[in-house]
Structure 1
Amino acid sequence: MNRRYWLLSAAVCALATYMPLSWAADPQIVKIGFVGPLTGPVARVGKDLQYGAQLALDEENAKNPVVGGKPVKFVLDVQDDQADPRVAIQVAQKLVDDGVVGVIGHYNSGCSIPASTVYHQANVAMITPGSTNPQLTKQGFKNVFRTMGHDGIGGVVAGHFVVEQMKAKRIAIIDDRTAFGQGLADAFEKGVKEANGNIVDREFTNDKAIDFRAILTTLKSKNVDLIFFGGLDEQGAMLVKQMRSLGMSTQLFGAGALKSNAFLQIAGTALDKLAAAQAFGKRYKARFNQDVELYAPFSYDAALAMLKAIHSADSLDRAKIVDSLAKVTVTGVTGNITFDPYGDLIKPPYTLFQVEQGQWKSVKTVGGSGA
């Protein structure tokens, strides 16, 4: 063998050796779906949830994750359900067709409940960081989980609070007839009655209404001192403005992310008192150049649980991930994430927050893993 031929052979062998190593170093793309209302009245809540999940994936990818002995890169497949149940079903099917191994979402219970059927049929794990209607997990789908306590308990807690702590004497309820709003209002009414409170009226609207003056005029004539609103915050803001225009000083109470001094929020843990949540807030702002709205930590923890389940299963098989999620335990920003047989959190905390000078301040926490 002459020297020229030997050098050529060595170069070919080196190239053949290099190419497979280069190919093997490229991580496999693994899609995790995210769905929320990214347009419309509650779009800012949807973006807050999206960014929470994205931060979890960014931090995981920085660790050069490996699944099944192969490097992977987790990518968020983002879809907008527009807070519309019909659109939610469509985008759920799109995520299934996209090959996602799991889904973080939806936000609205009215979207999560119908979409969960699509994920169930495809055996795709779904973790909602915001849907709190008890019916979601009562369906018996083993692939459905949530990182926030449901309204069957939270609404009752709120009912007791307004009677026992706020000393409300004449209570009215308005709900928007959605799965979330009506379910929460029903639980709140149950809590008020358990505490021997006095409900003087219950009114109904819909989630598209913008004029509540007729309802408010009726409630004003009945001298109510507290109104509970089962609905989302955009309408809550309209209620506050119209109450003030009618000269009402009545306290408005409900669940949402409304930055109004008259409005309280029923959520998970007292994030303003947790060091982990404060550290999360700093990382979140550094990454997205905005402050946490409220729900991002719950979405972040949902993504953490999903990632933990994938690593515990050491597989990208959808069925194995579902089985792994049922047994997952992870310490997140909002506390311990462990699911009961229905997919609900074990011993979830419920915190009442009130806005003071534009910031959420926790008033009282009930339950939690330490209870």
Structure 2
Amino acid sequence: MISSARIPFTLSLCALGAALSLAACSKQEAAPAAGAASGSASASATTAAAGAVEVLIGTVGPMSGGIAHVGKDVENGVRMAIDEINASQPVIGGKPVHFKLIAEDDAGDPRQATTVAQKMCDAQVAGVVGHLQSGTTIPAADVYHRCGIPHVTPAATNPDVTKAGYNTTFRVIANDNQLAEAVAASAAQQGVKTVAVIDDRTAFGQGLADTFEEAAKQNGMQVLVREFTNDKATDFMPILTAIKARNPDAIMFGGLDAQGGPMLRQMQQLGMSQVRLLGGDPLCTERMPELSGNSPTVENVICATGGISVQRMQGGQDWLQRYEKAYSGQFQIYSPYSYDATQVLVAAMKQADSTDPQVYLPKLAALQYQGLTGDISFTPRGELQKPAVTLYRFQGGKRVEQ
């Protein structure tokens, strides 16, 4: 629940304005007195030009660093959804509503993620789409729960994201259990019998590697060795040299494309051109060939993503054309899910006829929504009721379904 001692909305928003470049704070209407229903302050400001109630939606992800391209793709999906929702001239609580996006950078750092999450609480956003990574989502989820703000991650896959049982945490993508099991089963079917495992020591990478190791054994594979690196590393020669001596059929990497690309290039340099690289959704981004320096080893990748490809989504081709028109060349992987995450937040508000998180949160938990990415409904823990998984490989410099 949001504390009754919160700063009045107009003042907190103006104070935040310098950091977030929010204009015209002085034109906002007076906020409800402290002690009013939580979240109602986010709907108290009006958009002077249109006379509509302004409601803030937040999105958080890595907008700097090695995977900023993925973070930007997530932000683009949220912006696209908000633009389309606003164009429909929504009315909630008997008043026209205008949604406004606050986008923040957590730099993929757990400490920065909690700082930014608190910023969202102070700004009294009505809901948050994010974070991208499990290692940032898990600590941020605690902040949002204490503030009473619902957040929906379109990308964080570690099962621990929902393990705390917070009623404010939701995920619109499959988790690592499903991804690791799919990759392990596919690798076994393609003749992989021995595998080395590397993780980047993040919550995502280590969690995926742990789950894969169990799934590999269940599929009859032998795990030869377990190594680790970090999510900023680019030199994997010592690890790969040690692994090469064990002669594995495949390497499973629990990590991101920013490390997976250089790893593929170095595997080629070491003569490991026949060794497969297995991984989760970060290895499935459109930039993997580029990040690998277009190494031939990119065609040895087997990766899994939660959900289905945008090409197979109902209306996906039209949606992708609209995305490309607005954000040419920026599509990666998660923007359809951040788009749907935004849509489900607003759909719950419409069902509740309120933008107050305390009022619309029960509607979000019970939502039955047909989205771009498929049917969206949640378990009591905030997981998808029917998650889908898609396996990919790379061919001719392009990501293709297996």
Residue 214 (structure 2) pairs with residue 190 (structure 1)? yes
C-alpha distance in 1, partners of 2:48/2:59? 29
Where 1:159 maps in the other structure, the secondary structure is: helix
1:306-334 C-alpha deviation (Å, 9 max, x unpaired) = 11111111111111222111011211121
Asked if 1:268 is matched to 2:293, the reply is: no
Pairwise CA distance, 1:277: 1.7
Task: Compute the displacement of 1:275 (Å).
Answer: 4.3
- 1:255-302 CA-to-partner distances (Å, cap 9, x unmatched) read 212234332331123313334221211110112223521111111111
Aligned partner of residue 382 in structure 2, secondary structure: coil
Alpha-carbon contact 2:150-2:169 (below 8 Å) kept: yes
CA deviation map 1:109-132 (0-9, x unaligned): 000000001000011001000000
Among 180, 187, 190, the alignment partner of 2:204 is 180
| 1:317 aligned residue (331, 356, 367) | 356
Are 1:138 and 2:163 counterparts? Answer: yes
Aligned mates of 2:191, 2:299 — CA distance in 1: 18
In structure 2, C-alpha distance between the alignment counterparts of 1:312 and 1:196, rounded to whole Å:
48
Q: Which residue of 2 aligns with 1:37?
A: 62
One-letter amino acid matched to 1:29:
E
1:25/1:50 CA distance change after superposition, 3 Å = closer
Q: Note the C-alpha offset of 1:359.
A: 2.5
What are the equivalent positions in structure 2 for 1:281-292 lying under 5 Å apart?
A: 281-292=320-331
Q: Shift of residue 350 of structure 1? A: 0.9
Deviates more, 1:262-271 or 1:61-70: 262-271
Give 1:201 deviation, angstroms: 1.3
- The correspondence for 1:241, drawn from 257, 260, 265, is 265
Contact 2:183 2:303 in 1 (8 A): no
- 1:116 paired with 2:154, answer no
Residue 212 (str. 1) matches residue 251 (str. 2): no
1:303 equivalent in alignment to 2:327 = no
Structure 1: which amino acid aligns with 2:211?
A
Residue of structure 1 equivalent to 2:73: 48
Q: Distance in 2 between matches of 1:90 and 1:25?
A: 33
Q: Is the 8 A contact 1:281 1:291 kept in 2?
A: no
Paired residue secondary structure (2:251): strand
Q: Secondary structure at the match of 1:283?
A: helix
Could you give the per-residue CA deviations for residues 133-176 of structure 1, whole angstroms, max 9, x where no partner exists? 0011010100100111111222122222211x221022111001
Give, in angstroms, the shift of residue 217 of structure 1. 0.6
Q: Does 1:155 align with 2:180?
A: yes
TM-score for both structures, normalised by structure 1: 0.89
Q: Distance in 2 between matches of 1:37 and 1:291?
A: 15
- Residue 229 (str. 1) matches residue 268 (str. 2): no
CA deviation after TM superposition for structure 1 residue 29, in Å: 1.0
Segments of structure 1 that go 5 or more residues without pairing to the other structure are 1-21, 364-371
Gaps of 5+ in 2: 1-46, 290-297
Among 96, 99, 102, the alignment partner of 1:77 is 102
Whether contact under 8 Å (1:268, 1:334) holds in the other structure is no
2-side partners of 1:313 and 1:261: how far apart?
A: 48
How far, CA to CA, are the matches of 2:223 and 2:48 in structure 1? 68
Task: Tell me how far apart the structure 1 counterparts of residues 78 and 320 of structure 2 sit (CA, whole Å).
Answer: 13
Report what 1:278 is aligned to: 317
**Identity in percent:** 43
Show the counterpart of 1:361: 400
Count the aligned residue pairs: 341
Question: Distance in 1 between the 2:330 and 2:371 partners?
Answer: 19
Distance in 1 (CA, whole Å) between partners of 2:48 and 2:330 is: 40
Structure 1 distance, partners of 2:341, 2:334, is: 11
Distance 1:235 1:58 in 2: 34
Is residue 2:353 matched to residue 1:328? no
TM-score by length of 2: 0.82
**Which amino acid in the other structure matches residue 34 of structure 1?**
T
Judge conservation of contact 2:304–2:392 (CA < 8 Å) in 1. yes
Contact kept, 8 Å, 2:204 with 2:254, in 1: the verdict is yes
Distance 1:48 1:23 in 2: 30
Distance in structure 1 (CA, Å) of the matches to 2:254 and 2:382: 24
Structure 2: how far apart are the matches of 1:40 and 1:284? Answer: 23
Structure 1 Cα separation of the partners of residues 76 and 123 of structure 2: 21
Whether the 8 Å CA contact 2:175–2:306 is kept in 1: the answer is no
| Dislocated runs of 4+, deviation >6 Å | none
Specify the structure having the higher radius of gyration (Cα).
1
Deviations 1:75-94 (A, max 9, x none): 11100000000100000000
Following superposition, the deviation at residue 210 of structure 1 comes to 2.0
Distance 2:90 2:329 in 1: 28
Root mean square deviation, CA, Å: 1.5
Q: Confirm or deny: 8 A CA contact 2:69 2:330 kept in the other structure.
A: no
CA distance in 2, matches of 1:137, 1:327: 16
Q: Contact (CA 8 Å) 2:168, 2:361: kept in 1 or not?
A: yes
Partner of 1:349: 388
